Amino acid sequence: MSSLKLHQQRFDYFLVLDFEATCEQNAKIQPQEIIEFPVLKVNGTTWETESIFHQYVRPVHHPRLTTFCTELTGIIQNQVDEQPDFIETFRLFEDWMHKEKLLDGMMTSVFVTCGDWDLKTW
């Protein structure tokens, strides 16, 4: 049985990001729009989640979610209706980053995703 080795982390925090976006089966929606913007702030020493930013986002270019999108993401239309658009959501995210002291230069952090889709697409 192998034992787990813990190593000193280079980052104080890991920001776990997992966007959901508008989509259609067998077609590419242009432009694709983020409809869910979740980020977990995970402590790099304790591995505890210390804070969560979560916001549904109202799509502007394609305001109606497709049936495929709802089935794939689990997000239904009334979860995005009346929500802020992406520009306002990003402002809210920046406010959260400031509140969490992630932008003051005192803490190191890195974004973490499952695969490259979340960051290469946007």
Convert the pLDDT of each residue in 36-66 to its tens digit: 999 999 999 999 999 999 999 999 999 999 9
- Structure tokens given for 75: 């997000």
Q: What is the DSSP string of 73-119?
A: H---HHHHTTS--HHHHHHHHHHHHHHTTSSSSSS-EEEE-SSSHHH
Residue 70 covered by a domain: yes
pLDDT of res. 4? 72
Give me the torsion for CA of 101, 45, 8, 1, rounded to 10°. Answer: -160
Read off the pLDDT of residues 5-21 as tens digits, 9 standing for 90 and up: 767 778 999 999 999 99
In this structure, is residue 105 part of a structural domain? yes
Residue 39 included in any domain: no
Cβ atoms of 76 and 65 closer than 8 Å: yes
The tally of domains found in the chain comes to 1
In a domain, 49, yes or no: no
**Residue 1 belongs to some domain of the structure:** no
Evaluate whether 26 touches 114 at the Cβ level (below 8 Å): no
Residue 44 lies in a domain: no
Q: Is residue 98 part of a domain?
A: yes
- Tell me if 40 sits within 8 A of 15, measured CB to CB: yes
Q: What pLDDT sits at residue 90? A: 98
Q: Which residues constitute the domain of residue 91?
A: 7-14+23-31+59-115
